[in-house]
Structures are given as C-alpha cells and as structure tokens.
C-alpha cells in the first residue's frame, strides 16, 4: 500500500524540531529534579547542623553555670561540715565546774587531791585528727579534709588518804554517779609526807 504524506517537508521539520525540544526539555526537567533532591537534603542537613551547634553552645553554657554552682555548693557544704564537726567537738567537752563539784562530793573526808588531769593531757601534734570527706569537684581532684578536735578519753585523779580504805571508797562513790564508764584504782602506796606517812593513790576515770 502506498502512503502519500501531504504535509509539506517544512512542516514536518518543524514538528520534528518541536518533538526534540520537548524531549530535551523533559530530560532537563528530570535531571534538575534529580539534582534538586540532594541539594534539598544538603540544605536541610546544614540547617539541622546549625541548630545542633546552637543547642550545643547553649548546653555548654548551662554546663559551665552548673559546674560553678556545684563548686559553690561544695565549698558551702565543706564549711558547714567543718562547723558541725567543731560544734560536735565543743559539745563533747565536759562541764568542768560541775565535774569538780561532783568529785568533791564523792571524796571521803580523809582524802585530799594533788592533781586532776585529762588523758591525753594535750591534743596530738598537728592540732587534731583529719577526717577525710570524699566530696569531689568536677574540676578538681583534691579531697578536702576536716580537722576534728580530739577530746580526752580519761581523767586521772591523784591524791593522798589517811586510810587505805578511803581511796577504794572514793572510787566506789565515783562509779555510783554513772558519770564514768569505769573507775580504776591504779596506784595505792604508803609514802612519807611532812610529819607522817599517808597513802598516795591515783584513780583512772574513763568516759
């Protein structure tokens, strides 16, 4: 079958040209669309990175402020702890005037005292014991120490008695007061004193 195209060659060329232009336009649009996807993703990622950077700076500033607050609170806590330790040490001191009055009431008539001393008589070298409080600052590794005052553990009472039974009665009277956890007659011996001989004694009172 013979076909005859009555469309002129010029029109045919124009139509072919339009088809090619349309095909190229579609190809370019598709390529642009394909390229736009990674560009859009990159822009979104850059925006997210910028936002994360801002959040990181805000968090760093907040962390710095919290570290400063923690350091201030740690210092305050150490000071309060030291004050509590000193207060406890002071509260542990004995009311000595009342203690002497009690000892005088317990002492038999034939006794007299030559010394009353605490044991230990003086704090150890260095001013006291160091109690370590393990509170660590985020920016420092130093462990602060709180100095605790050492209180005496015993009371030594030395004196003389006219009769050997009187120091024993003295120790018994001190035990009955319940002020001490233990009263021990450590020494008792006859010694010459001035115009006669008397019994020298030494009591150890523990609390």
Whole-prediction pTM:
0.46
pLDDT at residue 137, rounded to an integer = 47
Is the peptide bond preceding residue 120 cis, with omega within 30 degrees of 0? Answer: yes
Question: How much is the pLDDT for 158?
Answer: 95
What is the pLDDT averaged over residues 157-169? 94
- What lies within 8 Å, CB to CB, of 102 at 6+ separation is 177, 179
The pLDDT of residue 2 is 58
Selected residue with higher pLDDT from 87 and 41: 41
Q: How many residues does the chain have?
A: 207
Average pLDDT over residues 138-150: 52
- Segment 3-25 shows an average pLDDT of 76
DSSP letter for each residue of the chain: ------S-HHHHHHHHHHHHHHHHHHHHHHHHHHHHHHHHHHHHHHHHHHHHHHHHHHHHHHHHHHHHHHHHHHHHHHHHHHHHHHHHHHHTS--HHHHHHHHHHHS-TTEEEEEEEEESSSPPTTSSEEEE-----TT-----EEEEPPPP-EEEEEEEESSTHHHHHHHHHHHHTTSSSEEEEEEEEEEEETTEEEEEEEEEEE-
Query: Whole-number mean pLDDT of the chain?
Result: 80
Mapped onto helix, strand or coil, the DSSP state of residue 123 is: coil
pLDDT score of 205? 93
pLDDT value at 188 more than 70:
yes
- pLDDT value, residue 21: 85
**Which of 53-62, 122-131, 169-178, 190-199 has the weakest average pLDDT?**
122-131
Residue 42 has a pLDDT of 79
pLDDT in tens, 74-132: 888 888 887 787 766 656 666 778 889 999 999 999 999 999 998 776 656 555 454 44
Q: pLDDT tens digits, residue range 42-74? A: 788 888 888 888 888 888 989 999 999 899 888
């Amino acid at each position: 079958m013979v076909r005859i195209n009555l469309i002129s060659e010029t029109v045919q060329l124009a139509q072919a040209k339009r088809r090619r232009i349309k095909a190229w336009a579609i190809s370019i649009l598709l390529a642009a669309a394909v390229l736009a996807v990674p560009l859009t993703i990159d822009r979104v990622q850059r925006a997210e990175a910028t936002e994360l950077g801002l959040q990181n700076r805000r968090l760093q500033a907040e962390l710095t402020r919290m570290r400063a607050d923690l350091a201030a609170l740690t210092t305050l806590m150490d000071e309060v702890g030291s004050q509590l330790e000193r207060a406890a040490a002071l509260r542990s001191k004995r009311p000595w005037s009342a203690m002497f009055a009690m000892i005088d009431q317990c002492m038999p008539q034939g006794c007299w005292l030559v010394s009353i001393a605490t044991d230990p008589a003086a704090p150890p070298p260095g001013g006291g014991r160091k109690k370590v409080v393990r509170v660590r600052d985020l920016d420092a590794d130093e462990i602060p120490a709180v100095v605790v005052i050492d209180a005496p553990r015993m009371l030594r009472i030395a004196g003389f008695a006219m009769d050997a039974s009187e120091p024993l009665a003295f120790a018994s009277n001190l035990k009955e007061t319940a002020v001490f956890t233990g009263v021990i007659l450590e020494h008792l011996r006859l010694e010459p004193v001035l115009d006669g001989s008397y019994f020298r004694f030494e009591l150890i009172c523990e609390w």
